[in-house]
Amino acid sequence: TSLRAGPTPGDRKYVWPTVADSFALSQARMDVEYSTDGELALAIDSDKGVVNVYDTSSGKNLCAIPAKGATVAAFSAAGSFVQTWEKLTDELHASGGNLRIWNAKTGEYSAGFSQAKFSKDSWPYVKWSSDEVIACLQITNGIHMYNGKDIGKGVISKIVQEKLKSFSISPGSAPYRIAIFVPEIKDQPAIMKLFSYPNLSEPVASKKMFRASDAEFFWSPTGSAVLIRTSTDVDASGGSYYGESKLTFISSDGKSEGTVALSKDGPVHDIAWSPSGKEFVVVYGVMPAKATLFDFKCNAVFDYGTGSRNTVSWAPHGRFMLLGGFGNIS
């Protein structure tokens, strides 16, 4: 279970829709997604072999994307494009690939790539900046950069990094930051780097550590910093059945980086930045877990005590914050 904050109410009054206002997305729904602004929705219709894109205010079917075998689909950051993934076949490989980019309003094909294996952790494969000026695609030992509004023009820049496992692009407009993660391999430590586009030859920040095989990225809403939760499946100390995790802070200018000091041993359950991007809350430690508010310099400014919880969520205006527990929290 996950919690997602709704839009800021402001002065608007919400009118609940009636049955007459509703509309069917498709008869066979495998995947339904909304664009970031909520103005568009897509639904995979496996019976007809298309991905339908709808205007959510009118219910109008804007286009039917001919992705016959699509099992997943996603909008670009600003909703201008849709990417689809299908099982790779010889026919798709010869015609451009099974990972395809389409215009969200016309259904026109824009670009294609061959992506043999599907990974839920890496989806969506193509990641756009918030303004869609650039787009990124992870390849073997690196990342290819594209013109986000015309990916079909080809690669415009790249990051070269052997053994790359995951990456993330900052929210907001330029300068665009790209955070990457290389896992620990044998006696070589894990590596986290932060690049600033278009200067991709050297990172603005870099940090190494051991006992890190996976990573998740948590950007501040303004893109001014990123928190990276690294983890392993096994806790070397034997203290946790769920493995070991750490939290690293890197400012976007590269001037500040380090490990966030957590006052209780155990996994990092959840992290959430406030809407202002000036502070963040971490839920961590063996149950009963602690929850602490940190400022932008990673100083602990408030302790919420301990409790059976593993989730934190901020209200859109930042005035309220919720702590909750879901699943097995014993």
CB of 207 within 8 A of CB of 191? yes
- For the chain, 330 residues long, give each residue's pLDDT as a single digit of tens: 444 444 555 555 556 666 566 666 656 556 788 999 999 999 998 888 899 999 988 889 999 999 998 999 999 999 999 999 999 999 998 888 999 999 999 999 999 999 989 999 899 999 999 999 999 999 999 999 999 999 999 999 999 999 999 999 999 988 999 999 999 998 899 999 999 999 999 999 999 999 899 999 999 999 999 999 999 876 555 555 567 889 999 999 989 888 999 999 989 999 999 999 999 999 999 889 999 999 999 999 999 999 999 999 999 999 999 999 988 776
pLDDT at 241: 58
CB of 323 within 8 A of CB of 283? yes
Nearest to 112 by CA among 98, 123, 126, 128: 98
- How many other CB atoms are there within 10 angstroms of residue 215's CB atom? 23
pLDDT at 5: 46
CB of 326 within 8 A of CB of 310? yes
Rounded Cα–Cα distance for residues 243 and 308 (Å): 19
Q: How far is CA 193 from CA 138, 254, 317, in A?
A: 15, 10, 31
Q: How far is CA 145 from CA 43, 129, 153, 154, 169, in A?
A: 28, 11, 11, 9, 11
pLDDT at 46: 85
Residue-wise DSSP of 104-153: TTT--EEEEE---S--TTT-SSEEE-TTSSEEEEEETTEEEEEETT-GGG
Global pTM value: 0.86
CA atoms lying within 13 Å on the CB side of residue 52: 21
CA atoms lying within 13 Å on the CB side of residue 23: 15
Cβ-Cβ contacts under 8 Å for 316 (sequence gap 6 or more): 5, 6, 7, 8, 275
With 0-12 / 13-18 / 19 or more C-beta atoms within 10 angstroms meaning exposed / middle / buried, residue 53 is buried
Phi, psi of 40 (to 5 degrees): -125, 150
pLDDT at 47: 85
